[in-house]
Amino acid sequence: MIKVKEKYKGYNVPYKDKTLGTLQGDDLKKYIKAFLYSKKPNDILIYFDNTIEELTEFAESAPKKAIKKPVTPEITE
Residue 29 in any domain: the answer is yes
Domain encompassing residue 45: 6-59
Domain count, the chain: 1
Q: For residues 42 and 75, give the distance between their C-alpha atoms in angstroms, rounded to a whole number.
A: 53
Task: Note the pLDDT of residue 49.
Answer: 92
**HEC states along the chain?**
CCCECHHHCCCECCCCCCECCCCCHHHHHHHHHHHHCCCCHHHHHHCECCCHHHHHHHHCCCCCCCCCCCCCCCCCC
Residue 75 in any domain: the answer is no
Cα torsion angle, 51, 62, 65, 46, sign: negative
Residue 42 in any domain: the answer is yes
Average pLDDT over residues 52-65: 80
Q: Express each pLDDT in 4-45 by its tens digit.
A: 899 988 888 877 788 888 888 888 888 888 888 888 888 888
Question: Is pLDDT at 52 greater than 60 in this prediction?
Answer: yes
